[in-house]
A and B are shown apart, each in its own frame.
Chain A
Amino acid sequence: MRTTRRQFLQLTAGATAAAAVGLDIAPAFAQSTPVKLGVLAAKAGVLAPVGESGLRGVQWAAERINAAGGILGRKIELVVEEESSPKDTVERFRKLALQDKVDAVTGAISTGVGLALGPVAEEMKTIWLAWDATTQKGVEETIPKPKYSFRSTDNECEAVMASLLTARHWKGKFKTVAGINPDYSYGRDNWAAFLAIMKKYGIELQVVSELWPKLGATDFTAHVAALAQAKPDLIFSCHWAGDTPIFMKQAHGAGLTKSTKFVLTTGGGVHESLKKEFTPEGAILGYNTFYFEYAKASALGKEFVRWHQEKFKEWPNYESDHGYFTLVAYKAAVERAAKAAGGKWPTQDAVIQALEGVEAESLSGARRYREDHIMEATFFQGTTTHKNKHDFVTLDPVETMTTKQIQKPSGVGLYDWINGWKV
């Protein structure tokens, strides 16, 4: 806990500051007071659909946990705030920590917000379980050894898996490649990872076009025209937002979907909008960490899909699972720590220790947090098919890979890790 604290102000000021940092003091002893958990969910802008997804996953988890008696008998109370710009989200986080005095915060998807929140979580000494918001920079540079921040899976996992699938299925079947990726860190990192892996597998390719539309663009006519001119054999794209179906629609309109191979690493996030009329069969499509029609899904996963479809008339995507997992992981960690503490509600430090290495059942199978606070999960990708009862494409066959195969281990740089593979 606090050791020495030099008082700059008078003692009363010191007392106020002490009360504010009282998160370190063991939480309420009464078992009946609720556990407050803060949620940072994006509500507007390009992140809104996934933010909403994540929130639904968290809410479903909270409902079920409370229905089963809560965490060690204490019900979960969610305090929901909005994730918007980094500056505003930092302020919301501070409010959750200082004013609402939540035990932990779950949420955040944007990489910029993630970069800002990491240090703030450490400063406020509040546990933060991110849904997404992971980049190379975030993991390596800002907080090399975070105590309070628990990150999601690396952003490049999608590209790594898609690249491996490309190498496996299409090696030797394409020469020219075009990349069209959103113009920001996520887009750049994924494209770079793809190129590096193609090189590692000795796949000779020629990049005939590299396009960088703005994230969330709504008009790809010029891009599609440029692609049509370049005539690539394969198009790689890590688009994940509402711009994905627009791109596919316009690409199809220009005839690109007839003969070009498509690799869409994260398009599954907006899977329902990838309608059959413009999305071809045979494309490699990634669903990140959750696939709603996985035949081998657990009963839990199937129940969630059923509930989601009935309630929202939509099929869920991966962000719900990220949200869900953060809550059940927290519960599992608290229970694990409590057992070691003889049944009493554990201290925050104990919870953090228990979170490291904790395993919990998410909607898509078992997941855990590594000791370096990065999530381990299963990724779902596959080849698109029109043979289903929906109006959008699904996967057949579905392939899974775990983060043990596609996420770099702790302490290693992404490209060093790729270079060290034995192919």
Chain B
Amino acid sequence: MLFLVAAGLQLVFGVQKILNLACGSFYALGAYAGVSAVTWALGHGLPAPLFVLPLLAGGLALAALGPPLERLLSRIYDRDESFQLLLTFALVLMLEDVIRFVWGSAPVQLRGAYLAYGQVTLAGSTIPVYNLVVMAAGALIALGMGLLLTRTRFGRIVRATAENREMAAALGVDMRRVYRRVFTLGVALGTVGGALVIPATAAVNEMAIEVIVEAFAVVVIGGLGSMRGAAVGALIVGVLKAGAIATWPEVEMLAIYVVVIGVLVLRPAGLFAGATT
């Protein structure tokens, strides 16, 4: 799921060159909205196995935040990157309190959904089927993104803009529209990611601030601006964490940062260098 957040981050950065610190906040919003949507739907008689639908709907609905927020950010497109970073930091602060205001400070969890699809035993360990659903969904979305970017006209425009903004504008591409769509897509990736994850865990206030650090790690390791990098990075981070926990639990917290710094030192552009997808 880290992949989705990281993918959102990558996309927005690749095209608009904005590093969105608030991507974690979108993840959190998606999670909370997902819980609300499913709880409402189940309360109104939706059969349990269909819970994924309102879950996704809740996540997608929040992508509607994309356009207005993008308009806010657009005011400072021509300024130094640092300002953009700071504006997204301001968003992080504000959204944290918005979440607290709407959903309260206690952890919010989804009832009954996690094991709605039962469990399965693979290679000696028991896994809830839902985990597999999430992995499949992630892979599907990744594939979808890939197809979108390589096969559709929109995708071509996005990649062109990422490569060379001025050239694309000169060729008549409507920058404002592209930016708005890209940003909204980035937001959607985050919110859907949050929504998908929530049945397995619980939504807590500080998830936005904490996921950001992990998302950064993924993006750095994979390389800024690369979709494939986001996928590989997420995989690496996940494996690293699991590996640390299995072998030397004490360094769980540190391992990620050390690798991040290592990558930044050795291969500054990440494992998949380049600003395109």
Residues of A within 8 A of B (CB): 43-46, 48-49, 51-52, 183, 210-214, 216, 218-219, 221-223, 225-226, 228-229, 241-242, 245-246, 249-250, 252-255, 270, 273, 275, 277-278, 391
Chain B residues with CB under 8 A of A216: 204, 206, 210
B:59-103 near A, CB below 8 Å: 96, 100
Given contacts A216-B204, A228-B125, A277-B115, contact A223 B245 (CB under 8 A): yes
State whether B127 touches A246 (Cβ < 8 A): no
Chain B residues with CB under 8 A of A241: 107
27 A-B contact pairs sorted by A residue (CB < 8 Å): A44-B100, A45-B205, A45-B206, A46-B206, A49-B106, A211-B249, A212-B249, A214-B252, A216-B204, A216-B210, A218-B201, A218-B207, A219-B200, A219-B201, A221-B131, A225-B245, A225-B246, A226-B246, A245-B107, A253-B115, A253-B119, A253-B131, A254-B125, A254-B127, A254-B128, A255-B121, A255-B126
State whether A273 touches B109 (Cβ < 8 A): yes
Chain B residues with CB under 8 A of A391: 111
CA distance A232 to B119 in the complex (A): 21
State whether B252 touches A212 (Cβ < 8 A): yes
Q: Is B148 an interface residue (CB 8 A)?
A: no
Interface string of B115-144 (1 = CB under 8 A from A): 100010100011110110000000000000
Interface string of B224-267 (1 = CB under 8 A from A): 00000000000000000110011001101100000000000000
Q: Which residue on chain A has the smallest CB distance to residue B242? A: A222
State whether B200 touches A277 (Cβ < 8 A): no
State whether B245 touches A242 (Cβ < 8 A): no
Closest 3 CB pairs of A and B: A242-B107, A48-B105, A255-B126
Chain B residues with CB under 8 A of A226: 245-246, 249
Q: Is B202 an interface residue (CB 8 A)?
A: yes
CA distance A225 to B126 in the complex (A): 9
State whether A250 touches B200 (Cβ < 8 A): yes
State whether A49 touches B126 (Cβ < 8 A): no
Given contacts A253-B131, A391-B111, contact A242 B106 (CB under 8 A): yes
CA distance A254 to B129 in the complex (A): 10
Q: Which residue on chain B has the smallest CB distance to residue A214? A: B253
Given contacts A214-B253, A222-B245, A242-B202, contact A273 B107 (CB under 8 A): yes
CA distance A48 to B207 in the complex (A): 14
Q: Is B114 an interface residue (CB 8 A)?
A: yes
CA distance A255 to B96 in the complex (A): 35
Q: Which residue on chain A has the smallest CB distance to residue B200? A: A250
How many inter-chain residue pairs (CB < 8 Å) link A and B?
108
Given contacts A216-B204, A228-B126, contact A44 B119 (CB under 8 A): no
B contacts with A, residue count (CB < 8 A): 34
State whether A222 touches B246 (Cβ < 8 A): yes
CA distance A273 to B109 in the complex (A): 8
State whether A253 touches B201 (Cβ < 8 A): no
Chain B residues with CB under 8 A of A211: 245, 249
Q: Is B112 an interface residue (CB 8 A)?
A: yes
Among A51, A210, A242, A391, residue most surrounded by chain B Cβ atoms (within 10 Å): A242
Q: Which residue on chain B has the smallest CB distance to residue A183? A: B253
A112 to chain B, nearest CB (A): 16
Given contacts A48-B205, A255-B119, contact A225 B200 (CB under 8 A): no
Set B105, B121, B125, B249: member contacting A43, Cβ < 8 A = B105
State whether B250 touches A212 (Cβ < 8 A): yes
CA distance A107 to B105 in the complex (A): 18
Chain A residues with CB under 8 A of B210: 216
Q: Which residue on chain B has the smallest CB distance to residue A49? A: B106
Chain A residues with CB under 8 A of B200: 219, 221, 249-250, 253
Chain A residues with CB under 8 A of B253: 183, 214
Given contacts A212-B252, A245-B109, A391-B111, contact A218 B126 (CB under 8 A): no
Q: Which residue on chain A has the smallest CB distance to residue B199? A: A249
New A-B pairs, 15, CB < 8 Å, besides A254-B127, A277-B112:
A43-B105, A44-B205, A44-B206, A46-B206, A48-B205, A183-B252, A214-B252, A222-B241, A222-B246, A225-B242, A245-B202, A246-B107, A249-B202, A255-B125, A391-B111
State whether B202 touches A213 (Cβ < 8 A): no
Interface string of B193-215 (1 = CB under 8 A from A): 00000001110111100100000
B210 to chain A, nearest CB (A): 8
